[in-house]
Structure 1
């Protein structure tokens, strides 16, 4: 008795490359979704003859290695720092102070300066080098 195998043709779909395609599509849509901002409404704004500018003045506070304080290159004593910052920041919408601090000073000196800014509700930004 001779047994013969049936040769039946079965159709197959090669899906090995679909994984790569789906990965690239997913990556493309993730990148595009981070770049696109859906909350932006494009408007043509009217023109005005005079414009009002908000005063966003940045003040630089520098402290050198000898603990000498400078507000915009003007020497200030540490005791008068709070009063000086208060007078400079009057009338400014979002007061911002760029703090330039010597790296040899202690962290406590930096915290004292930052507490002064927090007391006056001033945004303090630390300047660093690369």
Structure 2
């Protein structure tokens, strides 16, 4: 007497957790893409206890440890800094420049940059790390 099973077992792939995994991956990449900043020049910023957020259109002036000046990732000669800032800020009502200054540079270098902004009536804001 031969006994047969009525139901054959078929291999199945459990996809119920696949939706959760895809959701978390999508969320992860969305968060990373908003945090990433394409205008990044590696600097060691000084630390500050309090910070202020700006909501206006801003121009970033970065000075690295080798005293190379960058306006929004574009290298600028220090002698032409005033003319470059004047041309960039020509059409902006309330010009604001975020100064990202390497902490290894001297205070006199920072004062020279701030005097240039004061001469052009540009609001200069110092970027710091937390």
CA deviation map 1:15-72 (0-9, x unaligned):
9999999999999999999999999999999999999999942000000000000000
Q: How many residues align?
A: 130
CA distance in structure 1 between the partners assigned to 2:21 and 2:29 by the alignment: 12
Task: Sort the Cα spacing of 1:5 and 1:95 in 2 relative to 1 into closer, same or farther, 3 A.
Answer: closer
- The equivalent of 1:10 in structure 2 is 10
Point out the more displaced range, 105-114 or 5-14. 5-14
- Residue 75 of structure 2 aligns to a residue in which SS? strand
1:91: how far off?
A: 1.1
Tell whether 2:119 aligns with 1:106: no
Point out the more displaced range, 22-31 or 89-98. 22-31
Q: Which has the larger radius of gyration?
A: 1
2:46·2:129 contact (CA, 8 Å) conserved in 1? no
Structure 1 stretches of 5 or more lacking a match?
Answer: none
Structure 2 stretches of 5 or more lacking a match?
Answer: none
Q: Which runs of 4+ in 1 moved over 4 A?
A: 1-56
2:61·2:98 contact (CA, 8 Å) conserved in 1? yes
1:60·1:98 contact (CA, 8 Å) conserved in 2? yes
CA deviation map 1:47-105 (0-9, x unaligned):
99999999942000000000000000000000000000000000101000000000000
CA distance in structure 2 between the partners assigned to 1:104 and 1:63 by the alignment: 10
- The equivalent of 1:73 in structure 2 is 73
1:60·1:97 contact (CA, 8 Å) conserved in 2? yes
Structure with larger RCO (C-alpha < 8 A, sep 6+): 2
